[in-house]
């Protein structure tokens, strides 16, 4: 990657160093000066301000890459392999509040999921200093997206580092083995080694450290918390999990390929019911508010529905028909269709069938959103009406922001996402186990991290209308972690009337921002 250094960024950095004299300011100067020497690892430094709670927060942004290498037994060092060494140049944008002593200033590392998604969603939609307003939404009557001051940014409480996974965004993989980082474990190793290098580069080893993952990023975090502590000896003070999935036996995309693993259908049912309720298809919710329906759906899922699934083919026809009728009352699909599906409805099926009589499918990312069906005869929805509407606007705004406001000049094209599951090595070597077994499950890794560090706190959050990672799945996972009972007090839950990308609703973002701010500023007792 070729980056053209900017003298203005260097001047700003040196000025900050003279004025502040903090470790952060010294890192600003050192990193900015390095733009004259490093080329591919150059850092663009820019100054900015954000107003949060009526108070102006001045900051410096560092935009660049840090190289990491595959762990042994792969070719893992440039010294041994020269220019052909396999490496990932991991792109990051780091925001440092001016004048804040780094020793007691929290630092939070954030990333989206996929696998194969760049981290533009969390930055432009939630916690960066600028936030996108979509066309024809409150505050933006125009036909184009705009950026505004983000009053919900976390920069008043924590420095922020947004990281693109290898091969996404402006991150790139090069060398002899271009597939070396595309898998559960090598991805975790890359992030762990990136964080270690970042802490050294910016002299932040003494800071309280938090990791924030969204969607597949929560899978990454589950294993990353353990790797950071066990391998790189980096204490993690807290984790924020948004739209969590730790155990892929619970994913509702294609559970039918794993017969007998019926818990996925159970944990998805409350989200199906919430979505049906929103579209006035949940007869079981008549006369109830959403919270009451959810409690009723959770109880039904964990009792009658779970028992029926456990009976399998031994469930007699009359009981099967009765269960289909009950399911229909909750999730709004015809009982006959539910019977044909053996009482087991996958996420894509539900999205395709709920509004099929209107020729529409609902979004998996946000079940409240609907769009025209592409193929009315298909089993599952062929696209996501939320994603195709919103994603291109985020990408356009983010590209403009990075290149124009952050002064990051590069010929490298931005890759918002790739189909990670098509190439991803889902094998995961479970902590404490010599074997690789079954579907990806990082629950043991997280349990190990929490047990070894009993002060590690976890916030689990999600949306009721998320049909990708159902909110109840996260609750189920955390309540089945193999940890001492007294560590359950270190887990807190925040759920919202939202979809997978909870912060796309401003009212939710306002509350979520306050929750995360309180979480990262709380000190251990």
Q: Rounded to an integer, what distance in angstroms lies between the CA atom of residue 360 and that of residue 351? A: 9
Q: Rounded to an integer, what distance in angstroms lies between the CA atom of residue 477 and that of residue 283? A: 29
β partners of residue 46: 61
Q: Beta 159-163 vs 146-149: how paired, if at all?
A: unpaired
| Cβ(502)–Cβ(243) below 8 Å | yes
| Cβ(398)–Cβ(124) below 8 Å | yes
Give, for 228, the enclosing helix (H) or strand (E).
helix 216-230
| Cβ(65)–Cβ(41) below 8 Å | yes
Residues 6+ apart with CB under 8 A from 381: 348, 351, 352, 361, 362, 364, 373, 374
pLDDT digits (tens, 9 = 90+) for 122-157: 999 999 999 999 887 788 888 888 999 999 999 999
pLDDT for 382 equals 86
| Phi, psi dihedrals of residue 226, rounded to the nearest 5° | -70, -45
pLDDT for 23 equals 46
pLDDT for 73 equals 64
Q: DSSP string of 355-382?
A: TGGGTEEE-SS-TT-EEE-S-TT-SS-S
Q: Rounded to an integer, what distance in angstroms lies between the CA atom of residue 130 and that of residue 150? A: 5
Residue 232 scores a pLDDT above 80: yes
pLDDT digits (tens, 9 = 90+) for 286-312: 999 999 999 999 999 999 999 999 999
Question: Is it true that the peptide bond before 436 is cis, omega within 30 degrees of 0?
Answer: no
Percent of the chain topping pLDDT 70: 88
Q: Say which CATH topology domain 48-249+392-521 has.
A: Rossmann fold (3.40.50)
Residue with tokens 């009352």: 329
**pLDDT band at 5; cut points 50, 70, 90:** very low
| Cβ(218)–Cβ(243) below 8 Å | yes
Q: Is 50 exposed, middle or buried (0-12, 13-18, 19+ CB in 10 A)?
A: buried
Delimit the domains of the chain by residue range.
Answer: 48-249+392-521, 258-383
- Among 49, 503, 424, smallest CA distance to 240 is for 503
| R_g of the chain computed on alpha carbons | 23
Rounded to the nearest 10 degrees, the angle between the axes of helix 263-278 and helix 290-300 is 160
pLDDT digits (tens, 9 = 90+) for 49-105: 999 999 999 999 999 999 999 987 665 555 556 677 889 999 999 999 999 887 889
Q: Rounded to an integer, what distance in angstroms lies between the CA atom of residue 226 and that of residue 445? A: 6
């Amino acid at each position: 990657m070729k980056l053209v250094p900017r003298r203005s960024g260097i001047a700003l950095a040196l000025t900050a160093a003279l004025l502040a004299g903090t470790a952060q300011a010294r890192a600003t100067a050192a990193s900015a000066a390095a733009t004259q020497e490093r080329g591919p690892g150059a850092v663009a430094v820019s100054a900015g301000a954000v107003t949060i709670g009526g108070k102006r927060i001045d900051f410096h942004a560092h935009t660049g890459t840090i190289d990491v290498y595959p762990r042994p037994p792969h070719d893992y060092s440039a010294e041994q392999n020269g220019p052909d060494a396999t490496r990932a140049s991991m792109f990051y944008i780091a925001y440092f509040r001016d004048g804040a002593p780094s020793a007691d200033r929290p630092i939070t590392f954030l990333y989206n999921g996929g696998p194969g998604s760049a981290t533009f969603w969390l930055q432009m939609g939630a916690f960066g200093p600028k936030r996108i307003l979509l066309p024809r939404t409150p505050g933006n009557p125009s036909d184009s997206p705009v950026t505004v001051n983000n009053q919900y940014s976390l920069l008043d409480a924590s420095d922020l580092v947004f990281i693109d996974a290898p091969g996404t965004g402006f991150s790139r993989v090069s060398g002899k083995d271009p597939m070396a980082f595309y898998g559960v474990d090598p991805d975790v190793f890359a992030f762990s080694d990136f964080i270690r290098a970042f802490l050294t580069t910016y002299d932040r080893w003494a800071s309280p450290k938090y990791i924030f993952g969204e969607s597949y990023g929560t899978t990454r975090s589950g294993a990353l918390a353990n790797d950071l502590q066990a391998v790189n000896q980096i204490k993690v003070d807290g984790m924020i999990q948004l739209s969590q999935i730790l155990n892929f036996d619970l994913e509702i995309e294609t559970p039918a390929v794993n017969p007998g693993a019926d818990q996925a259908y159970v944990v998805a049912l409350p989200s199906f019911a919430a979505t049906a309720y929103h579209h006035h298809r949940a007869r079981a919710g008549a006369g109830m508010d959403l919270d009451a329906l959810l409690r009723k759906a959770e109880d039904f899922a964990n009792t009658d529905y779970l028992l029926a699934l456990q009976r399998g083919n031994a469930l007699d026809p009359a009981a099967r028909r009765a269960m289909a009728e009950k399911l229909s009352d909750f999730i709004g699909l015809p009982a006959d269709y539910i019977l044909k599906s053996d009482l087991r409805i996958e996420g894509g099926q539900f999205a395709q069938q709920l509004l099929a009589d209107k020729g529409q499918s609902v979004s998996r990312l946000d079940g409240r959103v609907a769009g025209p069906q592409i193929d009315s005869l298909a089993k599952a929805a062929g696209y996501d009406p939320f994603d195709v509407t919103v994603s291109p606007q985020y990408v356009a705004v983010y590209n403009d922001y990075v290149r124009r406001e952050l002064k990051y000049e590069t010929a490298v094209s931005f890759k918002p996402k790739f189909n990670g599951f098509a190439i991803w090595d889902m094998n995961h070597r479970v902590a404490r186990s010599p074997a690789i077994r079954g579907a990806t499950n990082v629950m043991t890794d997280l349990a190990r991290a929490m047990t070894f560090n009993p002060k590690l706190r976890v916030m689990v959050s999600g949306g009721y209308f998320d049909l990708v990672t159902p909110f109840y799945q996260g609750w189920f996972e955390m309540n089945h972690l193999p940890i001492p009972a007294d560590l359950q007090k270190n887990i807190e839950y925040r759920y919202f009337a939202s979809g997978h990308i909870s912060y796309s609703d401003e009212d939710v973002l306002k509350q979520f921002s306050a929750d995360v701010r309180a979480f990262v500023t709380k000190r251990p007792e």
